[in-house]
Each structure stands twice: as C-alpha cells, then as structure tokens.
Structure 1
Amino acid sequence: MRTRTTTARTGLAAALTALLALAGCTSADQSPRGTATPAASAPAPAQGNGSGSGYQGPRPQDQNLLAWTGDPGDAGHVTAQSAAGVGGRVTLVRIVLREPTTVSNIWLGLAGIDPNAQLSNCYLGLYNTGGTRLASTADISPQLMTDAVAKPLPLARPFTAAPGTYFIALLLNGNWATNALTLKSTGAGISVNAGLTPPNLRYSTVLTGQTSLPDTLNLAEQSTSTINTGWASQWYALS
C-alpha cells in the first residue's frame, strides 16, 4: 500500500512539474522564472591608457614608422624662423624608442619652400642622452628646396638603436625668406618644456656658428631662447 502511495505521489509531482513548465512558471531546470542563472563574469573592457590591448589612437607603426614626435594628422600648423635666428644653431627634439630597432631615415615635415633660398651645410642627425652623435644624413639642402611634403631623409649609415630616449638634431645654414621655408608643426609651444630642465628638454637649441653636426654635444647647455620664439614644434619621425 505504501509503495502504491509513494508511486502515486511521485507521479503527481512529476505531472505538476510538467504543467508548471508548460505554463512558463519554471525553467527546464525547475528554477523559478525570472531567477538569474549564475554565469561567468564578462571581462572588463580594456582601457586605452597607453598600454594593454585597448585602443590607443594612431601609432607610428600604423604608418610604417618607428616613432614620431606626434601624430602627423595633428601637424596642421607651420613654424618658421629666420636664418639669423636658427642658422648655425643645432636644434634638438627629444624622441623615444620603445623597442630595439634599426633606424634608416629621419622624416621631416616640410611645409613650404623658398625657391630663391641659398642653402648649404644642412643636416639631420641622432644623438643619445650622453650627447654622442650616433648617425647623421648627408647635406639635405637640395631636399629642402623641393616638394613641400613629409619626406624621409636617409642616414649615411643605418643605426641599430636600443630602447630609450634620443635627440633628433637639425642644423640649417644659408639664406632664406623667413615665411617661405617652413616646417610642419606638432602644435607644441613655449609650454612644451614644462617641468623639464637641461639636459632633458624636449625642444631646445645648442651652440651657434656650426657648419656640421658635432661628434658630441653638452646637453647641459640646452637653451630655450630660440624655442620660445615659435620654433618649438617641428614634426619628425623615424623609420
């Protein structure tokens, strides 16, 4: 008798469960509808803070470059200086390499040319934080007379660089119309060196009267006097 009663109760319970499921009151696992079933937590979205896999904006590698002083898409202004202002001075712009690489070219954003300029002894080079020249171009005077575009200027010998901080050096000599020979700008200004002192300035000049890039520079002599007159925003890149 007990066996029959137990069997009947079991059958009744099963029937009720089936009816409730059909009515939408329970889920297939018999939990009440509207009750959340535990699930694995979704990973938090990556944050684009300069590291990790989050979107970080344009990178030099997106344009087959190794490093740059700023996104060229933002280099919408131009900077100009007179021959008296920068002629014979070594202009230094700090740049950082994040991984070991071989540098073959220094890119310069040329915004405007002076077809009547008389240029000579103009160079680009690369220095380390100790002030030692690591590489340089041949005289780039001819390239500064044609095609106002961003252009790669080859080093005399490619340089294998370790990760770290370097300085791009520009030397101009000759005569040109101040507002004709112009360089692309990153938008920097006199605030670009905020919080910094020599030998770690981002934009600076050293020396005067130079006709070639010296083998060594004393970076403790970095000056901002010319930089603060509007020369603090040239755009460069490495490839």
Structure 2
Amino acid sequence: MPLPEGVPTFTLVGEFAPLSPGGGERQGTLAFTPVPAVLVSTATDAILLGTENATLGASGEFSIELVAEADEDFVWRVDETITGQPPRSYTIEPGTAGSTVALTSVAVTDVLPDDYVVVAGPRGPAGADGAPGTDGLDGAPGADGQDGAPGADGAPGASAYEVAVDAGFVGTEQQWLDSLQTDAEAYTDAAVDGRLEKAANLADLTDAGAARSSLGLGDAATRSVGTGAGSVAAGDDGRFTDARTPTAHAATHASGGSDALAPASIGALPAAGGTISGNLAVEGVALGQDTPAAHGVAAWCYDPAAAVNSTQLSGGVLYLVRVDIAAAVTVSSIYWWVGNPGSSPTSGQCHVGLYSSAGALLASANVDALISSAALKTTTIASQGLSAGAFYWVGLLFNAAVTPELTRGSGWTGVAEAANVGLSAASLRFATNGSGRTVLPSSFDPSSNVGANIAGPWVAVGA
C-alpha cells in the first residue's frame, strides 16, 4: 500500500548473488518491520504500522521504499527468507529522506526485542565551531550617492605681474606693462615689409620662375594650348581620336615572325598536343564520334546507338541518370526511349524530371499517357539554365499494372559497379534512390544513391 503523501521516505536496494558460478539464482523475500512497531508521522498526522515486503527479482535484486529517519527514533527489523540459506534477522538504521541506500552500506545490528523502546538521552554539549566558510561573491555596486555641497572658493591666484616677478622680472608693475607695449610696437608695417600680400594673389612674387622651380613644377603652366611646337594639347585635341586602321601585321606574330606569339600566350594548345584543364564543348563531330551537339541536343548519358537492349523498370523506384554539361545552356526537353510499352498506368504516378547535382528537383512532367507505346519520347519541362562544368540527373519514376521497358546499355552482372567505377554515391552515373514512391521527391540525399543494375536508362536533354 502506498505511504500517505508527505511522509519522508528513502529507497533501500540490494542484490543476493550465488557464491559460485552455476549456483542458481537466489529467490525469496525480505520483510521490513519498524521497531517500535507503531510509527507516528507528525508531518501528516498518520499512524504507520505493519510490515513491508520485498521479493527478490530474477537476478536476486530488490528495491523497496521505506519510511526515512524522522523526529521519532526507530529502526527497521529485517527478516530474510532466502533459498539456499537459513533465515536471518537483524536491524538497520533508516536512511535520510530522498536518498537511495545500498543494504551492503548500512550498519547491521542484532535484532531487537518486540518490546524495544527508544529512550532519548540527555542532550550532549555543543560541538566546536566549524571552520569559516569561503567568502561569498561581491554584491552588485550600490547606487551613486548624492553630490556633496559646493566647496569654498580657493585663495586668489597671483597676477601676471607677480608671476613675472617670480620669474625674475625686476621693476614696477608699470615698468612691466611698458615692456609689453614695447614688444608689441615691434610688429609694425615696417616690420612686415617684404612679405606676400594675400590680396596680391602672388603677383608680388619677385621671381615667379624661381618659385615654380622651388616647388618642383615644370613649364607646362606657362605654355599656350595649340597644335604646334611649344604648345600643350587640349583634352579634345583631334590627334587623340585618330580612328585610322592599323597596318596589317599578323605575319609578325606567326611562328618565326619578329613578334611571334606562343600558343600559351593566347590560351591555345601547341601543335604537339597538351592538356585541357577545363570543360570542352564540341559542336559537331569530335575524334570521329558524333557529339550531342551534332544531334541538336545539349547532353546525353551516352551515344544512343549504344543503347542495345531494354529493361522493365521496377514500379515505385526513382531511377537517376547523370548528364554532364560542357557549356552553359538552357534546356526545356527531356528525351527518353520506351523499348517495350507498359500498360494501365496508375493515375498521376508516372513522371520524368530534372534534378541538380545537390538532389533538388528543378522541373518535372507527368508522362502517364506516354508509357503505352514504344518510341523515343520528348517531354517538355519548364526552361532551366544549366551551368558549364556541372552535372545533373534525369529522374524517372513509373507505377503501372505493367511498367514500361526502357532502352539501356549494358545489363551484365556487375554493371552497377563497373559503370560507376571510381565514383562516390553522390556522383553516380546510373543510380536508384528509394522505393515505394508515387511522385518525384522535391529533393533527395545524393549520398544515399545506390548503383543501378543497368547502364541506363538512356536519356538526353536539350532545348
């Protein structure tokens, strides 16, 4: 039965284990009876009596909540009934309120008689003062006090004459004043004669040429504007806007010319060959092979002539096929190829779309109506500007009674590794991402891509 609310309790825990391996788990109970047998809780006005029992668990462990130490002195009598050992009884002191006490850590004493009565002895002498505690933190600064009353005026200071006398002047105060007047009269018009007048605007210079030389100036300021010798040119002088055609001189920059240019100087490869570190976009045929540009598309996963077979795609699986963009281009079409038709598409659950290399859906279109016939499919999407040197994925998702077979390259065992050799999950050429899908996700985590078991399906993107 739970104790009344407010009664202070502690938790007693313990475990009875066998003495040797294979000795079997301990089973039994522990009975806890207060001594004296009746406890009075002054905090709750409750009378507590009876015995509390704890049953050992599967590993011999137990845990029980008991009344904690209080104003009234008492102990707990413990009666053990454990398999494999004789019964045992002893008493323990109660723990402090809210604590958890291990049975092995408490003092065990012989069992007390049922008529045990606790008698309080006289109060002992006061203990010695404990050591001083550490200083507390400084309190917050107090508010500023009120301004004090104005102080008394200081004593008058010495006069200028007195200061002069202290500094060594000899004479009366009038003589000191006269000495000042004499110094002032030294600054007369005669005294400043020969100095430049502001109103003259430098016209009173004795030697203007010497002044310019002293300032480090040339003689352009003294020359007139014109086209002849000894003059300076104006900003709109026609000689500055001569639109004459340069003399042909391409031969001087050719190999062996007087001003030959090296291929590296103009970003070209030498005739002996070299390495292109950037992206190479070719419009037409390159190295004897057709390029996407030769077919009027921006990029494809590989030459469609290499799509020699077809595979039925699994329903609800997102297929991803990478296309690499060599030059910046704007596309609005996705090309894909149905080798054998599907049937009975699930309404609204057949889609193709374009994803960024980060897994963000850029554009998509529903293709429910296109899976029931075998042909090259051209699906229009919202125009997307694709960046040079980046790659994108075409995403394909189908749900139908019979999903379509799409053309692809190799389907041999190991193609998931071989067609993606050396690539991380986030940059696979042919991959899948998730199953049980009904729509193209707005985004996916490229690092969770898994290599597809086909080199395909074949796809392309274009205007």
Q: Shared topology, TM-score over 0.5?
A: yes
Question: Aligned to 1:117, what secondary structure does the other structure show?
Answer: strand
Match of 2:455 in 1: 232
Contact 1:46 1:54 in 2 (8 A): no
CA deviation after TM superposition for structure 1 residue 54, in Å: 5.7
Amino acid at match of 2:397: L
> Structure 1 199/113 Cα, relative in aligned 2: closer, same or farther at 3 Å?
same
Shifted more, 201-210 versus 116-125: the winner is: 116-125
Aligned to 2:358: 130
Query: Post-superposition shift, 1:64?
Result: 0.8
Match of 1:158 in 2: 383
Using the alignment, how far apart are the partners of 2:309 and 2:273 within structure 1?
33
The structure 2 residue matched to 1:60, chosen from 276, 283, 292, is 292
Aligned residues: percent identity? Answer: 26
5+ residue gaps in structure 2?
1-255, 257-269
Structure 2 counterpart SS, 1:145: coil
Cα displacement (A) at 1:75: 1.6
AA aligned to 2:428 is L
> 2:456 is matched by which residue type in structure 1?
S
1:155-180 deviations in Å (ceiling 9; x for gaps): 1x111111211111111112206xxx
Tell me the alpha carbon deviations over residues 65-101 of structure 1, each in whole angstroms, 9 at most, x when there is no partner. Answer: 11001111222211223xxxx2222111111111111
Q: Which whole-Å CA distance do the structure 2 matches of 1:212 and 1:55 have between them? A: 41
Distance in structure 1 (CA, Å) of the matches to 2:359 and 2:306 = 30
* Residue among 418, 439, 448 paired with 1:221: 448
Could you say which residue in structure 2 is the equivalent of 1:185? Answer: 408
Q: Secondary structure at the match of 2:362?
A: strand
Counting matched residue pairs gives 182
- TM-superposed deviation, 1:186: 2.8
Task: Give the match's secondary structure for 2:406.
Answer: strand
CA–CA distance in 2 between the matches of 1:106 and 1:119?
Answer: 21
Partner of 1:209: 436
CA deviation after TM superposition for structure 1 residue 207, in Å: 1.8
Give the drift of 1:56: 4.5
Q: Which residue does 1:20 correspond to in 2?
A: none
1:80 corresponds to 2:312: yes
- The letter for the 1-side match of 2:308 is G
Whether 1:194 aligns to 2:426 is no
Contact 1:76 1:186 in 2 (8 A): yes
TM-score (structure 2 length as normaliser)? 0.36
Deviations 1:150-208 (A, max 9, x none): 121111x111111211111111112206xxx2111133633111122211111111122
Residues 182, 46 of structure 1: CA spacing in aligned structure 2 closer, same or farther, 3 A cutoff? farther
Q: Is the 8 A contact 1:91 1:206 kept in 2?
A: yes
RCO higher in structure (CA 8 A, sep ≥6): 1
Alignment of 1:85-96 (within 5 A): 86-96=314-324
Distance 1:54 1:123, change over 3 A: closer
Distance 1:46 1:209, change over 3 A: same
Aligned-residue offset at 1:233: 2.2
Instruction: Supply the distance in 2 between the matched residues of 1:54 and 1:107 (Cα, whole angstroms).
Output: 22
- 2:394 is aligned to 168
The 5 Å alignment of 1:26-45 reads: none
Q: CA–CA distance in 2 between the matches of 1:98 and 1:176? A: 37
Structure 1 stretches of 4+ with a deviation exceeding 6 A read none
C-alpha distance 206-113 of structure 1, shift in aligned 2 (>3 A)? same
Pair 119,160 (structure 1): closer, same or farther in 2 beyond 3 Å: same
**Aligned partners of 1:119 and 1:56: how far apart in 2?**
44
Which whole-Å CA distance do the structure 1 matches of 2:446 and 2:272 have between them?
43
Deviation, 1:113, is 0.7
Larger radius of gyration: 2
Letter in 2 for 1:93: V
**Counterpart of 1:199 in 2: which secondary structure?**
helix
2:325 aligns with 97
> How large is the Cα RMSD of the aligned pairs?
2.6
Q: Retained in 2: the 8 A contact 1:109–1:235?
A: yes
Distance 2:371 2:286 in 1: 39
Letter in 1 for 2:325: L
CA contact (8 A) 2:329 2:386 kept: yes
**What letter matches 2:350 in structure 1?**
C
Cα distance in structure 2, aligned partners of 1:214 and 1:87: 15
1:23 is matched with none
